[in-house]
Structure formats: structure tokens, C-alpha cells
Amino acid sequence: MKKLKFDELSLSDEILQAVTDMGFVEASPIQSEAIPYIMEGRDVIGQAQTGTGKTAAFAIPALEMIDVDDKSVQTLVLCPTRELAVQVAEEFKKLGKYKKQVTSVAIYGGDSIEKQILALRRGVHVVIGTPGRVMDHMERKTLRLDRVKMVVLDEADEMLDMGFREDIESILEQMPDERQTIFFSATMSKPIMQLTKKYQDDPQLVKVVKNELTAQNIEQLFFEVKPRAKVEVMTRLIDLYNLQLMLVFCNTKLRVDEVVEELQIRGYQAEGLHGDLRQQQRNNVMAKFRAGTTTILVATDVAARGIDVEDVDAVFNFDIPLDEEYYVHRIGRTGRAGKAGKAFTFVVGREVQRLRDIQQYTKVKIQRGVIPSYEDIVGVKKAKFIAQIQEAIQEGGLEVFEDMIEQLHHAGLRSEQIITALIKMNMGVHKNEFADMDLSGGDDRGAGRERRSGDRERDRDRGPRRDRDSRDSKSTGRSRDNNRSTNASMVRLFINIGRDQKVRPGDIVGAIAGETGIAGNAIGSIDIYDKFTFVEVPKNDVQRVLKGMDNNSIKGQKVNIEIARQ
């Protein structure tokens, strides 16, 4: 895909100055192709993931086409999450830095609706919002879309997966027929193509292929580890590579909290990001991460949507992603703007098969990494400490502390004791239970559970696994015997979607684990039929699952979940 310089794209002086201030000279592939088509007024489908510069690909033409004399909303951008809405709004402000008469606002749940109403009443040209909050304002008559010239669906596939299709269609139906419609999506799924056919006019497809996304400047390694040693291995890698800013991805909210707690106990500046946080908490966490006060951000995939922070040194897949697409999204947050980045993936037991699926999907060989030993880390810290001592001596100003040496001698301490004690205090190296242990591969009680979970995942992916007494899978009813749990500590639940909705085991596990915080490997057998699914969950978590999944969606379909009848 050809790259163009920004001054070759027929942009205004104001936009050119803004992108120069942002440090850009050359447009990314998606920008080089999409901007000219959008500027021509064409409908566009952009297939691109996070990290490709897609926001500027639609924000630049949107800003160029605003009529500042018309105070009505002229551009609407729909985003799946509040984080992404905030991120896109910030990008609009940076790019519109010198177009001072162009106004924009982000509207999303969790923020004061009264404040948003005031902003809309003052008159704005660009609205960036989540579908739910946009619908709220439309129903309140505080947001009018009758003058919209351009609508953008950013990460359209994610919005459909989150169950926003009905809201999106309702919003699009209430817009002028004469408008420009832009879709940006990581995948071109059947539901996406159905929407484009319905709401776009002869759209131009602009695509960034996968091999352009798995950037050459990202070093990708995987480590086979014992489950309970994951945090130990992660901290060793942080120390070995002297990493300063990191993103850590987990599959569940519960795992996020557990990892954050363990990292904080070890003295690392870590914070978590997941769906249970209030908006103000999310804002505080992100502000500290952007400022570098928090050096490790631990997040779920959904909560991390829209995170765009420069200079992330490394991404850790603490849990191997449930979907190959998530892997691409995750690692795309490091190695940006030509800088080097690292992506480390932890694999437990037979999860190696899922890693092979990721490699096949991305067409990239992920190399096996060697876990640093305790002695390796001690050696690295010794070298770093010596360098710090040399630097302090070169800086000078030591005379103010010289009298303390004499005081320590008077206390009966020898110079060697003093020096050794200070080294121990400052290096922060302590032997723990993992120091002399082989952390690679192997098995322990946790590994056994995770391996059994991995077995179930692969069995499900080969096709629906039938219980002993299961009836014809085409049946729309629940069979008499197939609703019984095979384990007294588990309860069998019924979900009203199945193969016909393209549901996979990973979708069921991801939805339940993500919404309830239950560990994915605690979920029992999953039997997927054409029109419905049975899933086993721990008896103690049944009400938590029923409440967490109430009125929720899987694969863009609102679901009904209930205890299976005898």
C-alpha cells in the first residue's frame, strides 16, 4: 500500500501545521488511501485495526469539510466504548488545533448528561459518542442529526459484538439520506457487510492487510510457564529488559484485580482497568498511565479499547487471548511510530495449540523465549546498581554525606558491612519461593485446571460435543436428559443462541468471564446446538452469572440465560 506525505494530500494549512506539531510527515497506509476518497465525498469501508492511524484517516477529512458558519452537528462518530470515544475526541482536538472555530464534544455513559446537554446547546460541529448515549440525547431532543453530512462507525465490528446493532440502525435511519457514511472495522464479517449494503452507496474498500499490522519492529516471544509463576516471570522480564511502560492483558476482571494486587505487593506501580470501574476511576487510571506515574496498566480486552498511549515498551499477554483477532489488537499498542516494541505471551500446557492458531492467523512465527533465571536478574541489577553509583560520583555533591561514614564506624560497623547493607537495601533483590524453581512448562494444580480447560476449548472448536443422551442438534427444544449437570458442584444453564448465530465456545467463556469476573477455567462443559447452548457454571456463581448476563449480548445478539429445566 502506497504511503503519501501529508503535503501531497491537498490539505489546508491549518491541518498541515497540526500534523507537523504532532510530529508526522508521512501518512500511514490507511490514511494515504482513505483520506482522498473521503475528501471526494465517497462512502468508504476501511478495514484496519488499532495502531494503523485510522482515527486521523476520517478525522482529517471531517475537519476539512466542516462549514463553520453552520452551528449544527455535521459529523457524528460512533464508538463502542467510552475510552475510545474520549480517545477519538482528543485526536479531533489535536488535529483541529488551528481550526479554532470547529467545535466538538464527546458524549458517553458514566459522564454527566447535564454537562453534555449544555455543550450540545451551545452548538457543536462534531459529536463523538457511544450508541447508547447518542440514543439518550436523541430521545431527549438534545441532539439533532438532521444536518449531519458525515457519519463514521469506528470499530464497527466491536459495536456489533457488544449488541449495538439495533441502536446503530435506529441512529442511521434518523439521518438525512444525503450523507457520507464511513465504516472502519477490523474485520469484514457478514453482519458488517449487511450494514454496508443497507446504509452505504457504492462504498470504496480500503484495506490494511494483516502482514502490515504485525509490525517488523515488534519482537514477539512466548513463554511456557507454570500458571502460578506468571507474575514472577513477568517481573523478571521487566527487570531484564528494563521496561518502563507496559500493558498487561487478562481475559477476566477477576484476573486483572489479582495481577494488580500481586504486582503492587512486589512494589510495582500497577493499576487495573476493567468494566467494574466508574468513569472517574477510569479517567484517573488512564491519566496516571499517560503521565508515567503508573508504569503497568493491567486490563481486559474490552476495557482497553481505545487506549492509545505513546512509548509503550511492551505488551504482556498474561492470559492467551480467547480470539486470534484480540492478539493483533493487543500487540498493536506497542512498537508505534517506528519505535521498537516487545510482545510477550504466556502459555500454559496445551494452550500451545491456541498459540499455533494465532501464528497461523497472523502469518508470523512467534519465537519461544527463555525465562530469565534468578541469577540472571541479580546480575542485571548488580550492573545497574554499579552504573548508578558511578553516575552519582560523577554528579558530585557527596561531601555533605561524608560525616555519616564516621558515625557508622563509631556505631561499630565495618566499611564492608555498611556497603553490603546499602547494596541489599537499594537493589531490591530478595530470594522467594521461585528463585531455585524451574518455572517453564511443567504442571501443578493450577496447570492441571488450565490444561483441562484448554482440552475443552479444542474439543468445542472441532464441533459440538454431545452428552451421552443428547437429542438431534436441530431440535429447537431442550432435551429431557441433556440439561443435567454432570457435576454436583456445577449448574447447567440454558442460553437462547447457538451455531446459527456463529457462536463459539470462546464467545461463551469470554462473555460470562468478562461480565461476571468468574475465571474462564472455572466454567464447565459447553454444548452448542443450532439454536441454543448449554453451559455449566459453579453452583456458587449461578446468581452472579444470571445477574451479570441479564440483558447482555453475545456476538451482537441479546441473550436470555436461565437455569436449564429438569
Q: Is 176 exposed, middle or buried (0-12, 13-18, 19+ CB in 10 A)?
A: exposed
pLDDT at 309: 80
414 to 359, 417, 426, 510: CA distances (angstroms): 58, 5, 19, 59
Three state DSSP letters for 495-535: ECCCHHHCCCHHHHHHHHHHHHCCCHHHCCCEEECCCCEEE
Residue 446 domain-assigned (yes or no)? no
Residue 369 domain-assigned (yes or no)? yes
Instruction: Choose the most confident range, by mean pLDDT, from 92-106, 407-421, 455-469.
Output: 92-106
pLDDT at 120: 94
* Model pLDDT for residues 489-525, shown as the tens digit of each residue: 788 999 999 888 888 887 788 788 777 777 777 788 8
Residues 238 and 337 in one domain: yes
pLDDT at 480: 31
Residues 323 and 401 in one domain: no
Residues 273 and 327 in one domain: yes
Residues 183 and 232 in one domain: no
Residues 417 and 284 in one domain: no
Q: Give residue 79's pLDDT band: very low, low, confident or very high (50, 70, 90).
A: very high
Among residues 208, 241, 273, which one ends one of the domains? Answer: 208
pLDDT at 202: 92
Strand residue runs (E) in 79-166 = 104-107, 126-129, 150-154
With a cut of 60, say whether residue 555 has pLDDT above it: yes
With a cut of 60, say whether residue 479 has pLDDT above it: no
Min mean pLDDT across 311-320, 386-395, 425-434 is at 425-434
pLDDT at 323: 78
Residue 251 vs residue 24, higher pLDDT = 251
pLDDT at 481: 36
Is residue 56 within 8 Å of residue 91, measured between CB atoms?
Answer: yes
Is residue 187 within 8 Å of residue 112, measured between CB atoms?
Answer: no
Q: Give residue 2's pLDDT band: very low, low, confident or very high (50, 70, 90).
A: low
Among residues 187, 208, 229, which one ends one of the domains? Answer: 208
Strand residue runs (E) in 261-374 = 270-273, 296-299, 314-317, 341-347, 367-368
Q: Give residue 457's pLDDT band: very low, low, confident or very high (50, 70, 90).
A: very low
Q: At CA 450, angle to CA 446 and CA 452, rounded to 5? A: 120
pLDDT at 430: 61
The CATH code of the domain that includes 497 is 3.30.70.330
pLDDT at 298: 95
Residue 169 domain-assigned (yes or no)? yes
Type of residue numbered 10: S
| Number of domains comprising the chain | 4
Residue by residue, DSSP assigns 388-406 as HHHHHHHH---GGGHHHHH
Residue 148 domain-assigned (yes or no)? yes
pLDDT at 201: 93
- Owning domain of residue 546: 463-563
pLDDT at 456: 38
Strand residue runs (E) in 348-465 = 367-368
Residue 452 domain-assigned (yes or no)? no
Residues 56 and 183 in one domain: yes
Residue 434 domain-assigned (yes or no)? no
* Model pLDDT for residues 123-143, shown as the tens digit of each residue: 999 999 999 899 999 999 999
Percent of the chain with pLDDT over 90: 34
Length of the chain: 566
Residues 329 and 364 in one domain: yes
C-alpha cell, 93: 482536538
Q: Give residue 466's pLDDT band: very low, low, confident or very high (50, 70, 90).
A: very low
H helical segments located in 174-317: 190-199, 210-213, 230-241, 253-265, 279-291
* Model pLDDT for residues 53-69, shown as the tens digit of each residue: 789 999 999 999 999 99
Residues 155 and 54 in one domain: yes
* Model pLDDT for residues 151-164, shown as the tens digit of each residue: 999 988 888 877 78
Instruction: Choose the most confident range, by mean pLDDT, from 241-255, 336-350, 383-397, 441-455.
Output: 241-255
Residue 441 domain-assigned (yes or no)? no
pLDDT at 256: 92
Residues 67 and 188 in one domain: yes
pLDDT at 284: 87
Q: Which sign does the torsion angle of CA 140, 146, 147, 150 carry? A: positive
Residue 442 domain-assigned (yes or no)? no
Q: Give residue 460's pLDDT band: very low, low, confident or very high (50, 70, 90).
A: very low
| Mean per-residue pLDDT, 294-298 | 94
Q: Give residue 361's pLDDT band: very low, low, confident or very high (50, 70, 90).
A: confident
pLDDT at 463: 37
Residues 119 and 135 in one domain: yes
Provide the 10 A C-beta neighbour count for residue 406: 9
With a cut of 70, say whether residue 214 has pLDDT above it: no
| Mean per-residue pLDDT, 414-426 | 82
Average pLDDT value for the chain: 82
Q: Which residue has the cell 509490525?
A: 215
Q: Which residue has the cell 468513569?
A: 279
Residues 387 and 407 in one domain: yes
pLDDT at 471: 28
pLDDT at 187: 77
Residues 53 and 165 in one domain: yes
Sequence-distant (≥ 6) Cβ neighbours of residue 527 within 8 angstroms: 464, 465, 466, 467, 470, 482, 533, 534, 535
Residue 109 vs residue 295, higher pLDDT = 295
| Mean per-residue pLDDT, 346-369 | 88
Radius of gyration for the chain, computed over Cα atoms and rounded to the nearest angstrom: 27
Among residues 188, 208, 228, which one ends one of the domains? Answer: 208
The CATH code of the domain that includes 43 is 3.40.50.300
Instruction: Choose the most confident range, by mean pLDDT, from 147-151, 156-160, 561-565.
Output: 147-151
| Mean per-residue pLDDT, 37-60 | 87
pLDDT at 270: 93
